[in-house]
Structure 1
Amino acid sequence: MVERRNLHYVVLICLALLTVIAFSCQNNQSNKEKVIGKATIEKQGDLGEILKNNKLTVLAENSATSYFIYRGHKMGLEYEILNEFAKELGVKLEIKVVKDLDNIIENLNDGEGDIIACNYTVTKERKSKIDFTIPIMRTSQVLVQRKPEDWRTRRKSDWKKDVIQDPAELSRKTIHVWKNSSYYDRLVNLQDELGDTIIIEPLDGNVIPEDVIEMVSEGFIDFTVTDENVASINKRYFQNIDVDLELSVKQRIAFGVRKQSPLLRKKLNAWLEDFMKTSTFNYIKYKYLNNSSNVSKSKSDYSSISGTKISPYDQTIKVIAGKYNWDWRLIAALIYQESKFKLGLQSWAGAYGLMQFMPTVGPTFGVYPDSPPTVQIDGGIRKIVKNYNEWESIPDSIQRVKFTFATYNAGIGHVLDAQRLAKKYGKDPLVWDDNVEIYIKNLSNPKYYHDPVCYYGYMRGSETYNYVRSIFIRYTEYKTAFPTEI
């Protein structure tokens, strides 16, 4: 009986082990289906953790005031401010676009980012959940409404009589606003002040301000409320909207940080106090609040706000990347890093074209300086696939891609040197992040490139270190801004 019972336990244990192995295999198989899979979200810490990880992660909305992508280039008022702060810290800036602003505080407190940057008004309720920096600007809330159809043929003093000019005229009017915004709260208070009903239609947090303003401009809705700085940007594009009626006193716009990040908040506050006195800050504000060309960019087909394109070559990249089962946005991130999508670009070292082939390498893949974009992209992806196949010893697909891109940038010899150094100094030679990348960075130091395990000598290792990191940060941003793969 004992032997039978023991046998029963052994069978149960074996079945449990088989289940775990099967589950593990299933996960591994799904990870290999497409280059490249989802990265694991790590909880963020305070300033020390940011410096250690060499990365500042910002939770932003897809808008001209916060952050957007134009022809692959990152833009936005708050993005440019925080990019300067990241430079001050000496870390990379990563943007995570939050599709639903209703969850942005929860996202921050769950450690998915370090800072909220979404033209965020400081309110008492929000301050109970997160901390805020000193304000980067003060702005009032304004009513967004359409001008009369014939406004172009009439004097402003005349057609102004046909639009609402007093908050009291909002009684019984229907206004669409984000339900968890300070605009909604202001309209509720305004009802009490007027002693009459305003019909407030709540919008979800996945509707960006630009879209709601466009809905007013196109006549789908009659009114919305937004901040004056947002309205100023958009009225240059939607010229038939009127935004002159203020509905609130000046309110503070600031960056949000976790209550568990006091050192980050202190450092950012001290830096903002100095930075907001500089000509750089004034230029950034002018660029987005007063320069109409940037409004046009935010409304372009190549903008992540209203468009669906990263570059003029998207379709070509999609077709060719699909042929090799690579995510086209990852390839687009690499092309931007190489050439910023400039077809005729030539570097000081003689590298040419979209994929920046060296003259000794390009012809091997049938790519020449005057080759058309399709040939350049196809040759570049074939080169990437070749480099990827050279790293079949790397078990993790994401790490293998990072070795691939390092090889594309620096050549396989220098990457092998860094791999041997990593092994010598007790790091994992099969992992790029925080292991081999450390020693590729050190290959500009004689202590390392003169080491007997190094065969290829000196290189500017920081360039390759930053190259790989920049591509993957940009890829993460492209995935959130342009979620459709086909």
Structure 2
Amino acid sequence: MPQTKSRISCLLLLVGCLIMASCSEEKTDSRKKPLDTHDFDLPGIYKRGSLVILAENSSTSFFIYKGKKMGFEYEILKEFAEELGVKLEVKIVNNLDEINAMLNRGEGDIIACNYTVTRERRSEINFSTPFLQTNQVLIQRKLTPETKDQKVTFITDPIQLGNKKVVVWEHSSYYTRLIHLQDEIGDTIMIRPTQAQEGVEELIEQVSNGVIDYTVAERNVAEINERFYDNLDVSMPISFKQNIAFGLNKKSPILQKRLNIWLSKFMNKEAFSYIKRKYFEQINSSLGVASNFKSRRGSISPFDAILKVEGAKYNIDWRLVAALIYHESKFNPNARAFGGAYGLMQFMPGTGPKFGVYPTSPPEVQIQGGYKYLSRITKLWTAIKDDNERNKFILASYNAGAGHILDAQRLAEKKGLNPHVWENNVEAMVMNLGKHAYYTDEVVKSGAFRGNICIRYVRGITARYETYKTLVKR
């Protein structure tokens, strides 16, 4: 009898262990299960209170400029998120080869990276209503005596691409287009594929710098980048127009329908036209009628009096600010430029009001707000004791936003350079912020940045400041 009880006890213990193991296994398996369909779709977005977009660091997708989050697609989806009543979160994707898989794993709700609609991509994901149509163009350097000496052919017809090396991202629509173009021209194009870590804008910079001779991009991306590199030609099309749209998970039919309905209405509104103009039309450095005031000995601008008063108040050399204003707007208080920048100091729409400056503000108010902003920036760089060096960091921060310059300073220190010296030190890291290996470094907080414009900005204003110092006394 005792043996029977003992056997029963063992049996019960064994059954209990099996049940516990089963429960444990069930819990573990539940963690591995994919999210419920609704977690991918609109109900899941409402549940978490945020819309997550998968974006790249680029001029059309998402970037940070003068401390402000920007991007053509970012601004569209920001409006959509407000319509839904949820926050917009941005997840930067550094390897575009992974972006569809990330979407399908539920790591984001929408792909926003100037995504061309193709049959291959449609087999993996869904697309929204197209919000833009554009064709692909060849990126090459302009025909100059230098390019002639380098024996680089300036392409005026796609047939000339025979036996030419063109560098593009391997899993892109550009690569597919070049494959088809070979058949059309009856010749071999030496297509050199790159990995997705090298974005199209990085390849465009390599063309400008002479590292490579040709790449391909959508016209809208090419024309924005042409603004940054004055030696580029982006005029030759190599494709018909293609649709650009947002990518969505196939498990998100409700989100897709809601987005499509909203887009069809939004694209007919002035808000959409304004966003489109801001990125694709206002691409000159300063629009509007420039001031015809000419500097002469004893004076610099029509605003010298207020510049001197505010300069004394904030202990900032007014001649430096005058040089900055000339570069930004050529003393035109009504100037308009890229991203909606306005006025003498070219305040961004999200920054100007913080300092009491609006597009309709009179010149005096614009200048007063500009000094307040410069004073705030100056406080960031008090550790730099040399006035001339500090001025360069201040100017760079005004142009790029302090976040990018702080990133460059941290990179300089990490690379063994002097973080308190601009030329050949922090300046070199600013230039490198457009390269994948640098903007993905752990010390970089503000993402990619196209540094050549900032470097020319600092050099140009510094040179003009030196000229102004010979014209007038402080």
What's the counterpart of residue 187 of structure 1?
178
* 1:56 pairs with one of 51, 70, 90: 51
Offset at residue 84 of structure 1 (A):
0.4
Does structure 1 residue 201 correspond to structure 2 residue 192? yes
CA distance in 2, matches of 1:371, 1:273: 42
Q: 1:72 to 1:370 in 2, by over 3 A?
A: closer
Offset at residue 243 of structure 1 (A):
0.9
Counterpart secondary structure, 2:40: coil
Does structure 1 residue 112 correspond to structure 2 residue 103? no
CA distance in 1, matches of 2:137, 2:53: 27
TM-score, normalisation: structure 1: 0.52
CA distance in 2, matches of 1:227, 1:282: 20
Q: 1:54 to 1:371 in 2, by over 3 A?
A: closer
Query: Alignment length, in residue pairs?
Result: 280
Offset at residue 150 of structure 1 (A):
3.9
Offset at residue 283 of structure 1 (A):
1.1
Q: 1:52 to 1:102 in 2, by over 3 A?
A: same
Q: 1:294 to 1:276 in 2, by over 3 A?
A: farther
* 2:276 pairs with one of 285, 294, 297: 285
Q: Which amino acid aligns with 1:281?
A: F
8 Å CA contact 1:145–1:242 kept in 2: the answer is yes
8 Å CA contact 2:227–2:284 kept in 1: the answer is no
Q: 1:216 to 1:79 in 2, by over 3 A?
A: same
8 Å CA contact 2:125–2:247 kept in 1: the answer is yes
* 2:224 pairs with one of 219, 233, 257: 233
Q: 1:53 to 1:221 in 2, by over 3 A?
A: same
Does structure 1 residue 269 correspond to structure 2 residue 260? yes
Offset at residue 286 of structure 1 (A):
1.1
8 Å CA contact 1:122–1:132 kept in 2: the answer is yes
What's the counterpart of residue 20 of structure 1?
none
What's the counterpart of residue 82 of structure 2?
87
8 Å CA contact 2:208–2:231 kept in 1: the answer is yes
CA distance in 2, matches of 1:163, 1:68: 32
Q: Which amino acid aligns with 1:223?
A: Y
Q: Which amino acid aligns with 2:55?
A: A
Q: Which amino acid aligns with 2:63?
A: F
Counterpart secondary structure, 1:197: coil
Q: Which amino acid aligns with 2:191?
A: I
- What RMSD in Å do the two structures reach over aligned CA positions? 3.8
Offset at residue 291 of structure 1 (A):
2.1
What are the within-5 Å matches in structure 2 for residues 168-183 of structure 1? Answer: 168-183=159-174
Counterpart secondary structure, 1:292: coil
Does structure 1 residue 96 correspond to structure 2 residue 91? yes
What's the counterpart of residue 139 of structure 1?
134
**Residue-by-residue CA offset, 1:30-88 (whole Å, 9 max, x unaligned):** xxxxxxxxxxx988520111112110000001001000112432100000000000011
Offset at residue 208 of structure 1 (A):
1.4
What's the counterpart of residue 391 of structure 1?
none
CA distance in 2, matches of 1:275, 1:150: 48
CA distance in 2, matches of 1:370, 1:195: 61
8 Å CA contact 2:135–2:238 kept in 1: the answer is yes
Q: Which amino acid aligns with 2:98?
A: N
Q: Which amino acid aligns with 2:100?
A: I
Q: Which amino acid aligns with 1:135?
A: P
What are the within-5 Å matches in structure 2 for residues 30-429 of structure 1? Answer: 44-150=39-145, 163-292=154-283, 373=379
TM-score, normalisation: structure 2: 0.53
CA distance in 2, matches of 1:372, 1:143: 42
8 Å CA contact 2:40–2:249 kept in 1: the answer is no
CA distance in 2, matches of 1:277, 1:192: 39
After alignment, is 107-116 or 64-73 more displaced? 64-73
Offset at residue 279 of structure 1 (A):
1.2
Unaligned runs of 5+ in 2: 1-5, 18-33, 287-349, 357-374, 383-438, 446-474
8 Å CA contact 1:139–1:229 kept in 2: the answer is yes
Counterpart secondary structure, 2:115: strand
Unaligned runs of 5+ in 1: 14-40, 155-160, 296-339, 347-368, 377-479
What's the counterpart of residue 424 of structure 2?
none
Does structure 1 residue 484 correspond to structure 2 residue 447? no
CA distance in 1, matches of 2:225, 2:376: 41
Q: 1:294 to 1:206 in 2, by over 3 A?
A: farther
CA distance in 1, matches of 2:245, 2:87: 21
Q: Which amino acid aligns with 1:124?
A: R
CA distance in 2, matches of 1:114, 1:251: 23
Offset at residue 192 of structure 1 (A):
1.2
What are the within-5 Å matches in structure 2 for residues 4-15 of structure 1? Answer: none
8 Å CA contact 1:288–1:294 kept in 2: the answer is no
Offset at residue 202 of structure 1 (A):
0.4
Offset at residue 162 of structure 1 (A):
6.1
Counterpart secondary structure, 1:86: helix
What are the within-5 Å matches in structure 2 for residues 446-457 of structure 1? Answer: none
What's the counterpart of residue 24 of structure 1?
none
8 Å CA contact 1:97–1:481 kept in 2: the answer is no
Offset at residue 292 of structure 1 (A):
2.7
Q: 1:278 to 1:483 in 2, by over 3 A?
A: farther
CA distance in 2, matches of 1:372, 1:167: 51
CA distance in 2, matches of 1:103, 1:371: 38
Offset at residue 231 of structure 1 (A):
0.4
Offset at residue 212 of structure 1 (A):
0.4
CA distance in 2, matches of 1:140, 1:371: 41
Q: Which amino acid aligns with 2:46?
A: L
CA distance in 1, matches of 2:61, 2:144: 31
Offset at residue 204 of structure 1 (A):
0.8
CA distance in 1, matches of 2:73, 2:268: 16
Q: 1:195 to 1:162 in 2, by over 3 A?
A: closer
Q: Which amino acid aligns with 1:236?
A: R
8 Å CA contact 1:212–1:224 kept in 2: the answer is yes
